[in-house]
Amino acid sequence: MQEVEQILISGKKFKKLRLELVLTQQEMAEEIGMSVSGLRAVERKPASKVGNKYIRALANLRKIPPAQQQAELTFDSSELIAEPSDHAALIAKVDKAADGFSEEEVEQLAKIVNRAVEKFAVSRGGRIIIGPSISGR
C-alpha cells in the first residue's frame, strides 16, 4: 500500500478559496474527489492534514502549479489567535519568559512551540486550550 503524503492546510484559507471559485461544498468535493463530510471537516478546523492528491486536484481545477496551490493553503500557527490584542498579550508573556535566553535558544524554542501548537490543533479538532480543563478531562 502506497503511503499518501499529507499537508497541513488552513481551513479558513480552504473555505475562502472555495467561495472565490463560487462552488458549493458538494461541487468542490466532487471536483477534487473528497467526500462532502471530509470537506466540511477541513473547512471547520483551523488546521487539517489533507492528502497531497486533493491539493493537486485543486491546482488542476484552478490551472495553477501544485506548489503554488500548496503555498496558498499552508497553515500558519498565527491563524489560531484571532485578535491582534491577543497577539500583544502573548508577545509580552513570551518576552518576559525569554529573559535570560540567547537569541538562538529563543528561536529554537519558537520552532518547537509552533510545531507543538500545529500538532495540538489538528489532534484537538482545532480547539486550543491553555491551562487545565475546568471539567478535569
CB 52 within 8 A of CB 4: yes
The three cell numbers locating residue 33: 474527489
What is the C-alpha to C-alpha distance for residues 109 and 98, in angstroms, rounded to an integer?
10
| Domains along the sequence of the chain with CATH | 6-75 (1.10.260.40), 79-123 (no CATH)
**From 17-31, 35-49, 112-126, the region with the lowest mean pLDDT:** 112-126
Going by C-beta distance under 8 Å and a sequence separation of 6 or more, which residues neighbour residue 51? 4, 5, 6, 7
pTM over 0.85: no
Residues 42-94: pLDDT tens digits?
A: 998 888 888 889 989 989 988 988 888 888 888 776 665 544 555 566 666 66
